[in-house]
Amino acid sequence: MKRYHWLLIAFAILVIIAMASRILPRDIHADVAIIEGKILSLLNARGITEKSIVSREHDKWRCGNIKGETLAYVFKAGGVFNTDGIHDEVRDTLKDVRGCRLENFVYKDGEDTVGFDVYFRDHAVLSVRIEDINPRIALVLDDFGYTKTNLAALEDIKVPLTLAVLPNTPYSEKVCSFAGQNGKEAILHLPMEPEREDVSLEKDTILVNMDTETIKAIMSRAFLSVAGVKGVSNHMGSRATRDGRVMGIIFEELKKKGMFFLDSMTTDGSLCMETASNAGIPCVKRDIFIDNVLEEETITRQMKKAGEIARLNGAVVAIGHDRSVTVEVLRKVIPRMEKEGILFVTLSEIVRNRWKSVKCKV
């Protein structure tokens, strides 16, 4: 048989195989089962078990030569689910499944719901919704750096807290190190110009009449003293946060570092949210101060109010200070609030998720 006959036969075989692949059904139920198992295992590690299932529906389908099914789960968290890092963990879990991707990841604090869809090649195969998520409080304690008096007491508070550290103070580095070693989070508490002129200012306070290079130099020195911080908040700043030029310079520097900003809301005229949005950096604002009045009864009442806001809106950013009476109240009330279903989280989690949907593709 001549060579071209063999080539014709080989070509015919390839055509037959190609046609068969289009005609013969391919069943992907096994692939769906693998995906389902991985996601359920991940959720189980976060406290979402079989008892959390509200409904499980499955829809078998055939699309062309592909046979499969779409599974739809609804879970009720029941006060046990921590959303921190959930998107990245789901994405990483699916990396090992070739042709699998995560789509339509949605998290809204106000709706207390996490949701995402998993696709295998071009087919939706798994839909997950987790409802009734814990109301969350991000508790930020300002003005750390001048003493280490309250650090020992903070060791007894076994929930995530965010410590706002003043730069270039005697214990700036110590507090940042403490935060990293004790499950806390540190942010830079950046001194900024207030409206009042009768208050003493920190060294290297950012003033509205400073030029761009001076502001950048101050920020550079500040960051050198607070290693490992995740973001920045304003110390004072009622005048500076009303100045779009100054905040634009600050946010430009934060964008380079991949950091967020917390507006302490020392003035109703703050331009931080608008300016941050234009600069493309995450920004949230304070909802409530808990210790403007240094009385145990008042701080307790403010923490209760913070819990009420969290239940209403899904999450709240509460600011207190490095004060002994504040820390003592927190030691007492936090365990009670946890029993009531309140989840204490880092400020970073609120920044990632607050009042907005996040849609991502892997």
Q: Are residues 250 and 295 in the same domain?
A: yes
8 occurs within a structural domain: no
List pLDDT tens digits, range 314-344.
Answer: 789 999 999 999 999 999 999 999 988 898 9
Confidence of residue 359 (pLDDT cuts 50, 70, 90): very low
Q: What is the DSSP letter of 206?
A: B
Domain shared by 172 and 317, yes or no: yes
Q: How far is the C-alpha of 277 from the C-alpha of 272, rounded, in Å?
A: 8
Amino acid at 251: F
User: Is residue 5 domain-resident?
Assistant: no
Residue 291 to residues 83, 140, 342: CA-CA distances in angstroms? 28, 12, 20
Rounded average pLDDT over 146-154: 96
Residue 358 lies in a domain: no
Residues 92 and 181 in one domain: no
Whether 92 and 178 share a structural domain = no
Split into its structural domains, the chain has a count of: 2
What the block records as the tokens of 31 is 């692939």
Q: What pLDDT was estimated at residue 354?
A: 57
Any domain includes 32: yes
- Which has more confidence, 85 or 265? 265
131 confidence band (pLDDT: 50, 70, 90): confident
Query: Among the three residues 110, 131, 152, which one is the final residue of a domain in this structure?
Result: 131
- At 15, list the tokens: 């055509």
Among 131, 146, 161, which residue terminates a domain?
A: 131
CB-based contact 170:144 (threshold 8 Å): no
Task: Kindly report the average pLDDT of the chain as a whole number.
Answer: 89
Of the candidates 85, 112, 131, which is a domain's last residue?
131
Structure confidence at residue 217 (pLDDT): 98
183 and 300 in a single domain? The answer is yes
Looking up tokens 């607070």 gives 226
Are residues 305 and 288 in contact, defined by beta-carbon separation less than 8 angstroms? yes
pLDDT digits 0-9 by tens, 208-266: 999 999 999 999 999 999 999 999 999 999 999 999 999 999 999 999 999 999 999 99
**Do 266 and 338 lie in a common domain?**
yes
What is the mean predicted confidence (pLDDT) over 29-50?
92
- Residue 270 is inside which H or E element, if any? none
What pTM was computed for the model? 0.71
Q: What is the mean pLDDT of residues 290-311?
A: 95
pLDDT of residue 14: 67
Q: For the chain, what is the total number of helices (H) and then of strands (E)?
A: 11, 15
User: What is the pLDDT at residue 148?
Assistant: 95
* CATH code for the domain in which residue 338 is found: 3.20.20.370
Mean pLDDT within 122-142? 90
**The pLDDT of residue 15 is above 90:** no
Structural domain includes residue 13: no
Helix (H) / strand (E) element for 346: namely none
d(CA 157, CA 334): 8
State residue 358's pLDDT score: 34
146 shares a domain with 40:
no
DSSP 104-130: EEEEEGGGTEEEEEEEETTEEEEEEEE
Shared-domain flag, residues 264 and 148: yes
Q: Does residue 197 sit in the same domain as residue 114?
A: no
- For every residue of 23-60, which 3-state class applies, written as one string? HCCEECHHHHHHHHHHHHHHHHHCCCCHHHEEEEEEEE
H or E stretch including 321? strand 315-321
Say if residue 214 is in the same domain as residue 152: yes
Tell me, yes or no, whether 56 and 124 share the same domain: yes
**What pLDDT score was predicted for residue 361?**
30
Q: What percent of the chain has pLDDT over 70?
A: 88
**Residue 20 located in a structural domain:** no
Domain containing 97 equals: 26-131
If asked whether residues 222 and 114 sit together in one domain, one would say no
Looking at residue 81, its pLDDT comes to 72
pLDDT in tens, 167-214: 999 999 999 999 999 999 999 999 999 999 889 999 999 999 999 999
